[in-house]
């Protein structure tokens, strides 16, 4: 299994589509920073990523200090850091009077119709909530606005049709519509990441760039496949057919850490997943992620999460009961 698939298997993403919008020109709306929206969208989430799928027409997206970006039907726009942005039928329009998020989201997905009666733009707005450490790993190196067109891929065409079907189902009396939309939001986000990775750009850095790199991607796959192995940089370099110095330099350049630092981070993510979702003992979890003693494991976990694993597990359990 490749590193991206393995990471998405282990970590928890929570997705939702919360607006099905029809806008007629002229129109303009401000979207606040995700930190402001997160308590309403997904209470307790450490990080919220906002996205918009344009299903008909066109519009412009403006962010502070940047030129307006023109998007058209089939485009998905993702804001990895949750930046505030403005969407409009043409640049530099004044925004409409804001609607409180609590009112806007009383029903999900909210059918929103607005504008001056001109050319129509339809879009679906959603979000992905994830852990801060996953966001730091997965979204590192991404631009403030990630923009791809899904209509060029078979998966994207299927996703668009599925989203339209699920939105119709969400308004029907049949149960399960919201659950389908949630899963589609997650799949759409993953497909955007895959399409972004497929675009050739040798200047990119970050974890996704590392996964996409022949050498670093192979090293990441080895670390994800055998996290409990007593890896050294020398052994990892042999496994991927490179010299120690070349691998270490390339890994640091793309991922932003050394291979062994990254291995520790990945082990801690695995351990946190097991602590949250299983009843395994600390010793079994420690051995499963590559630590020979629970003392060494506890020390490493405390450095990463700020609390011993047993305390962290109890805190997570209480949080789950409240949510």
Kindly list the structural domains of the chain, giving each domain's residue range(s) and its CATH number in brackets, ordered by start.
Answer: 3-198 (2.60.120.10), 213-322 (1.10.10.60)
N residues, the chain: 323
Cα–Cα distance for residue pair 258/260, rounded to 1 Å: 5
Distance between CA atoms of 82 and 62, rounded to whole angstroms?
A: 14
SS3 track for 83-148? CCEEEECCCCCCCCCCCCHHHHCCCCCEEEEEECCCCEEEEEEEEEEECHHHHHHHCCCCCCCEEE
Tell me the C-alpha distance between 130 and 42, whole Å.
10
Residue 9 near residue 22, CB atoms below 8 Å: no
Helix (H) or strand (E) holding 19: strand 14-24
Each residue's pLDDT, cut to its tens digit, for the chain (323 residues) gives 688 888 888 877 888 888 899 999 999 999 999 988 888 888 888 889 999 999 999 999 999 999 999 999 999 999 999 999 999 999 999 998 877 777 777 777 888 899 999 999 999 999 999 888 878 888 888 899 999 999 878 788 888 888 888 887 776 667 777 788 888 888 888 889 888 988 877 788 999 999 999 999 999 999 999 999 999 999 999 999 999 999 999 999 999 999 999 999 999 999 999 998 899 999 999 999 999 998 999 999 999 999 999 999 998 887 766 55
């Amino acid at each position: 299994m490749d590193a991206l698939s393995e990471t998405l298997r282990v970590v928890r993403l929570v997705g939702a589509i919360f607006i099905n919008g029809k806008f007629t020109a002229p129109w303009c709306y401000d979207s606040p920073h995700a930190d402001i929206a997160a308590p309403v969208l997904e209470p307790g989430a450490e990080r919220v990523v906002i996205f918009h799928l344009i299903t008909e027409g066109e519009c412009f997206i403006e962010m502070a200090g940047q030129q307006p970006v023109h998007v058209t039907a089939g485009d998905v726009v993702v804001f990895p850091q949750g930046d505030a942005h403005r969407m409009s039928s043409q640049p530099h329009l004044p925004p409409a009077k804001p609607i409180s998020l609590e009112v806007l989201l009383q029903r999900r997905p909210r059918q929103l119709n607005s504008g001056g009666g001109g050319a129509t733009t339809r879009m679906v707005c959603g979000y992905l909530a994830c852990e801060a450490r996953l966001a730091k790993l997965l979204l590192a190196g991404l631009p403030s606005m990630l923009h791809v067109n899904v209509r060029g891929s078979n998966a994207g065409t299927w996703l668009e049709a599925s989203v339209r079907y699920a939105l119709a189902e969400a308004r029907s009396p049949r149960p399960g519509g919201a659950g389908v939309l949630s899963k589609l939001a997650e799949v759409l986000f993953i497909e955007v990441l895959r399409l972004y990775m497929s675009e050739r750009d040798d200047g990119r850095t970050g974890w996704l760039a590392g996964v996409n790199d022949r050498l670093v991607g192979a090293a990441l796959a080895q670390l994800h496949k055998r996290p409990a192995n007593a890896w050294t940089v020398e052994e990892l370099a042999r496994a991927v057919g490179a010299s120690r110095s070349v691998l270490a330099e390339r890994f640091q350049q793309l991922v932003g850490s050394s291979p062994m630092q990254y291995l520790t981070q990945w082990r801690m993510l695995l351990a946190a997943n097991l602590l949250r979702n299983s009843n395994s003992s600390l010793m079994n979890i420690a051995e499963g992620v590559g630590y020979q003693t629970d003392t060494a494991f506890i020390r490493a976990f405390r450095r990463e999460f700020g609390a011993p694993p047993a305390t962290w597990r109890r805190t997570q359990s209480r949080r789950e009961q409240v949510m």
